[in-house]
Amino acid sequence: MTKAITVSGLHKSFGRTHALDGLDLDVETGEVHGFLGPNGAGKSTTIRVLLGLLRADSGAAQVLGRDPWADAVDLHRRVAYVPGDVTLWRNLSGGEVIDLYGRLHDGGRAKRVRQGGGGRRAGGLDRERRAKLIERFELDPTKKGRTYSKGNRQKVALVAAFASDVDLLILDEPTSGLDPLMEEVFQTCVEEERDRGRTVLLSSHILSEVEELCDRVSIIRKGRTVESGSLADLRHLTRTSVTAELAGPPNGLSHLPGVHDLDVQGLRVRLQVDTDKLDAVLRSLSESGVRSLTSTPPTLEELFLRHYQDEESASEGAKGAAGAPGAEGAEGAMVR
């Protein structure tokens, strides 16, 4: 399988700030790739480098097999982009902006296509698809830029991106400002894109969205990739919470490798276990006899929180933050 995006050792500084500090990213063709990281981690900077808007200080980046800086224009014919904060021209209507982006995409090619017959495609956009998207997103395309709310500005950019005929969609926190219904429409659209064989790079803060949509994710922090792989891979590296009611007193659980936060109250046991050590724990539990058992795989949120916290405050913060499974020693487990 070819790669849609390959980035290795990317560095970018703004004055004294190191926005990117050796970032790596691999996106396979045809996958939906989640791009996660706290505010200021360098997600938008990476995306701007991938779009040739910023020039990396060092490191290599290829998008669809091309250099994003040198081949920007040709590359952009095959890429659609939705920024996280869409600014529109105050006196242009949403419909005008959608069509403008569509036509700019082709760099005038659409005209030739249209004149050469077909007629279905006009102005660089699939008209049918454009109309359908406007309907699905419940967007009023006649309103002027300055009268749209944030969510509606976002819809303008989303309709333009989804209606264009491209190979790669780069979406930078595209659903900020969308209501839950629209969020669902967005997810359907992304799934459709995947079904059509397109690649999507989705930078997001909404973890349920990422869990729902993404085949693989990359988590970055302070300009560096800290984790990358499929959700299953990532879960494997983390802990599962286990709550069990036993028939007899538990035995030797605390000596098992990979067990954390063990809490035994009579016959009730709660613990966290490194997912790859789960087997031994279950065996030990069943020796005592199991009456009931709940096992919860780690949520992406927990994965995420683990990487959000600074090393020094890791243990402290993890306990406080949304009951994330104890992160003591997490760094050991998480080191790549």
Partner 1 sequence: MSAASATSAYAPRTGGSRQLAGSGTLLRFALRRDRVMLPVWIAVNALMVLSMPNTLKGLYGTAAERADLIRQMETNASLRALIGPVFGDSLGALTAWRAGIYAGALAAVMSLIVVVRHTRDEEESGRQEMVSSGAVGRRAPLTAALLAAAVANGVLALLLVGGLAGQGGAGALALGLGIAGVGMVFATMAAIIAQLTESARLARGLTAAVLGAAFVLRAAGDSAKDDGSSVLTWLSPLGWLENLRAFADERWWVLLLFAAAILLQGAVAYELAGRRDVGMSFLPTRPGPANGRLSTAGALAWRLQRGSVLGWSIGFFLTGVVYGGLTEGAADLVGDNANAREIFERMGGQSGLTNAFLAAMIGMLGLIAALYIVSSVLRLNGEETSGRAEPVLANAVGRLRWAAGHLVVAFGGTALIMLLAGLGFAIGYGKEFGPILGACLVQLPAVWVIGGVAVLLHGLLPRAAVAAWAVAGAVLLIGWIGPALNVPQAVLDVSPFGHLPKLPGGEMEWGPVLLLTAIAAALVAGGLGALRRRDLTT
Q: Which residues bind partner 1 (CB under 8 A)?
A: 44, 48, 51-55, 72-74, 76-77, 79, 81-83, 85-101, 103-108, 111, 123-124, 140-144, 146-147, 157, 170
Q: How far is the CB of 32 from partner 1 (least distance, A)?
A: 19
Specify whether the backbone of 182 is left (phi greater than 0), alpha (psi in -120 to 50) or beta.
alpha
Q: Which is nearer to partner 1, 87 or 265 (CB)?
A: 87
Q: Shortest gap between Cβ of 49 and partner 1 (angstroms)?
A: 9
State the Cα angle at 60 between 55 and 65, rounded to 5°.
100
Tell me how far the alpha carbon of residue 239 is from its chain's centroid. Answer: 21
In the numeric block, the tokens 């802990």 are attached to 239
Name the DSSP class of 93.
B
Rounded CA gap, 69 and 47, in Å?
A: 12
C-alpha to C-alpha distance for 288 and 291, rounded to whole angstroms: 10
Q: Which is nearer to partner 1, 144 or 260 (CB)?
A: 144
For residue 183, give the nearest of 200, 158, 166, 146 by alpha carbon. Answer: 158
- Give the pair of three-digit tokens for residue 212: 């729902």
CB of 173 to partner 1, least distance (A): 14
Toward partner 1, which CB reaches closer, 80 or 178? 80
- SS3 string, 121-133, reads EECCEEHHHHHHH
Residue with smaller CB distance to partner 1, 147 or 230: 147
| Nearer residue to partner 1 within complex by CB, 86 or 219 | 86
Cβ at position 193, least distance to partner 1 in Å: 17
- Biggest CA pair distance of the chain: 81
Of 131 and 321, CB closest to partner 1: 131
What whole-number distance in Å separates Cα of residue 6 and Cα of residue 250? 49
Closest to 56 in 3D by CA, of 9, 16, 17: 9
CB of 209 vs partner 1, minimal distance in Å: 22
Distance in Å, CB of 77 to partner 1, minimum: 4
Q: How far apart are CA 31 and CA 143, in angstroms?
A: 35
Q: Is the CB of 111 or the CB of 291 nearer to partner 1?
A: 111
Give the DSSP H/E element, type plus range, for residue 240. Answer: strand 239-246
Comparison of 189 and 259: residue with beta carbon closer to partner 1: 189
Six token digits for residue 91: 């006196």
Backbone dihedral region of 19: left (phi > 0), alpha (psi from -120 to 50 degrees) or beta?
alpha
Distance CA 248, CA 287 (A): 9
| Min dist. Cβ of residue 25 to partner 1 (A) | 18
Task: Report the nearest approach of partner 1 to the CB of residue 184 (Å).
Answer: 24
